[in-house]
Amino acid sequence: AQSVTQLGSHVSVSEGALVLLRCNYSSSVPPYLFWYVQYPNQGLQLLLKYTTGATLVKGINGFEAEFKKSETSFHLTKPSAHMSDAAEYFCAVSDSGGFKTIFGAGTRLFVKA
Amino acid sequence: EAGVTQFPSHSVIEKGQTVTLRCDPISGHDNLYWYRRVMGKEIKFLLHFVKESKQDESGMPNNRFLAERTGGTYSTLKVQPAELEDSGVYFCASSQETLQFFGPGTRLTVL
């Protein structure tokens, strides 16, 4: 069965600092991997996704993630945090059909001025 | 283009009552999904429609939950009777292929 573990329910960084949100997954088949963001009172918005090909995936708003099969990880990074990045972030995995999606518990990112 | 919409945005009901949540997917999207997030936990898959057919309902918690998608357009999720543990945020998503677009969710509170 597929599962996702996000390390840290809360992460706090200073504005301009590196953002690193950790995600590990388990999957018996080559996975599709996703990062979603949820801003207050809004739906989930896709940041980026990995399906096949290049393991470093670039997404919106300056975020990127690297698929590391050997470590079963898909950590999300951004070189310089902005106040507007404060939100909750979800890592997710689905099977190759991309239908049923399994989510991690979420990481809430706080950005300090 | 309109996104996925959900109604109501909030619902507060008493234990034992019935509640119906509605989801309008993006026009033309054959795939429609329901997910639920219970207080502070992960978002869990409930079921997946392809047009009007249930493709996968493995996440439905019990028979108090009934999902329909008549005509392959909007979908409803009925909880009858509601229990305290049903409280949470119910998300709907739709897709044409693999990329799912999510609605803002319905926050359900059962007292």
Strand partners, A111: A13
pLDDT in tens, B77-103: 999 999 999 999 999 999 998 789 999
- Quick check: B36 pLDDT over 90? yes
The string of DSSP codes covering B45-67 is: EEEEEETTEEEE-TT--STTEEE
Instruction: Answer yes or no: do A41 and B56 touch at CB < 8 A.
Output: no
* Per-residue model confidence (pLDDT) at position A5: 95
Q: Are strands B75-79 and B53-56 parallel, antiparallel or unpaired?
A: unpaired
Distance from the first to the final alpha carbon of chain B = 37
Average pLDDT, chain B: 94
* Per-residue model confidence (pLDDT) at position B102: 92
* Per-residue model confidence (pLDDT) at position B1: 63
**Better-predicted residue by pLDDT, B1 or B101:** B101
Task: Provide, as residue numbers in chain A, all residues whose Cβ is less than 8 Å from the Cβ of B100.
Answer: 46, 98, 101
At A90, the amino acid letter reads F
* Per-residue model confidence (pLDDT) at position B71: 87
SS3 A111: strand
Instruction: Answer yes or no: do A43 and B102 touch at CB < 8 A.
Output: yes
Determine which of B42, B51, B53, B91 to mutate to test the interface with A (most A C-beta atoms within 10 Å). B42
Q: CA B11 to CA B89: how far, in whole Å? A: 10
Chain A 17-56, CB below 8 Å of chain B: which residues? Answer: 32, 36, 41-46, 49, 51
pLDDT in tens, A56-74: 999 999 999 999 988 999 9
CB-nearest to B91 from A44, A49, A102 is: A44
Q: Is B53 on the interface with A (CB under 8 A)?
A: no
**Alpha-carbon distance A75 to nearest alpha carbon in chain B (angstroms):** 17
pLDDT in tens, B12-34: 999 999 999 999 999 999 999 99
**Alpha-carbon distance B37 to nearest alpha carbon in chain A (angstroms):** 9
- Residues of chain A below pLDDT 70: 96-97
CB-nearest to A105 from B41, B55, B95 is: B41
- Quick check: B51 pLDDT over 90? yes
* A104 CB burial (10 A radius; 0-12, 13-18, 19+): buried
* Per-residue model confidence (pLDDT) at position A96: 66
Q: Is A94 on the interface with B (CB under 8 A)?
A: yes
* Per-residue model confidence (pLDDT) at position A31: 81
In contact, A89 and A7? CB cutoff 8 Å: no
Task: Provide, as residue numbers in chain A, all residues whose Cβ is less than 8 Å from the Cβ of B3.
Answer: 43
CB-nearest to A100 from B42, B45, B101 is: B45
Average pLDDT, chain A: 91
